[in-house]
Amino acid sequence: MKHWFGSLRILAIIALVVLGTQTFPQSSWAEDHSIVVASTTSTQDSGLFGYLLPIVKRKTGIEVKVLAQGTGQALDTARRGDADVVFVHAKSAEEKFLAEGFGVKRYPVMYNDFVVIGPKGDPAGIKGKDVLTALQTIKTRAAPFVSRGDHSGTHIAELKLWKEAGIDIVNDRGSWYKEIGQGMGAALNMASASNAYVLSDRGTWLAFQNRGDLTVLVESDKRLFNQYGVMLVNPVKHPTVKKEPGQRFIDFLISPEGQNAIAGYKINGQQLFYPNANDPNA
């Protein structure tokens, strides 16, 4: 009967080891100085946050925990009170969020642009065309097209472009139109693997490593403008919102210092985001 304590001892030792070496870095996240920012996959996948957050920490002392979720999900997380700040890119959805009373105020922060990506061979022949003609051509040729399909800012922009091109994409799609319901990176991976066309924000594209045969085919069309905005979640709706550090984070982003920092983020010498906090119409 003595042996059978063995297994209990094993478990006790494992338990002690685990509890003893518990590496949860909870202590380093001082409550008052950390905020949760619900944001889009593009701000993370492009590497912007990796570059910007250490600067924010140094200048303001605020630890930012980023949830990279896509605009629709990010706004929903904030609606539930699970984030302090939202940093997204779909003005219409942001204004709806404000109108519902979930946000305090929207501040424009920066912009970049969307690009239509496709295989170098360009089987549908859209290179250099304006974006609406390009989409019409893709539809006519039934060329494979990957859609985010996740209510992200990029997906919302894509749906708006199809509409402007006079195409009812919900009813007029064929098997060439693949709605994957995933993030920008996943959409680019799929386009790369299947030589399909895809709409991407330029930031994610520039940082993306698995390009395969893909290249930028349509760009510099004013319809491809992509504006980012930031909002504090309304503390009246959710009293747990960390109002003071949240607002300080926003104030830093729109300050000349923060705007310069954003402009300074480059990949291979190419600037990814253009600050425009001073543009009242953005």
Partner 1 sequence: MNDFTQALDVAASLISRFDPELSQIVGLSLGVSLTASLVAFAIGAPLGTALAIYRVRGRVGLIVVANALLGLPPVVVGLAVYLLLSRSGPLGALGILFTPTAMVIAQAILGIPIVIALVHRIMVDVWARYGDALLVDGASRLRATLPLMAIGRDGLLTAFLAAFGRAIAEVGAIIIVGGNVHGYTRTMTTAIALETSKGELSLALALGIILIILSMTVSGLSFLIGRILTGR
Question: Can you tell me the distance from the alpha carbon of 264 to that of 89, in angstroms, rounded to the nearest whole number?
Answer: 20
Nearer Cβ to partner 1 (7/281): 7
Residues within the interface to partner 1 (CB under 8 A): 1, 3-11, 13-15, 18-19, 21-26, 29, 36, 41, 44-45, 49-50, 53, 65-68, 80-82, 182-186, 188-189, 192, 207-211, 238, 240
Least separation in angstroms between CB 38 and partner 1:
9
Nearer Cβ to partner 1 (18/142): 18
Residue 113's SS3 state is: strand
Least separation in angstroms between CB 27 and partner 1:
12
Nearer Cβ to partner 1 (140/240): 240
Least separation in angstroms between CB 186 and partner 1:
5
Least separation in angstroms between CB 74 and partner 1:
11
**Are 141 and 167 in contact, with CB atoms under 8 Å apart?**
no
Contacts of 28 (CB under 8 A, 6+ apart): none
Question: Can you tell me the distance from the alpha carbon of 143 to that of 277, in angstroms, rounded to the nearest whole number?
Answer: 39
Least separation in angstroms between CB 111 and partner 1:
22
Angle at 128 between CA 124 and CA 132, to 5 degrees: 70
How distant, in Å, are the alpha carbons of 38, 74, 196, 197, 218 from that of 146? Answer: 25, 22, 6, 6, 15
Phi, psi of 255 (to 5 degrees): -75, 160
Nearer Cβ to partner 1 (26/270): 26
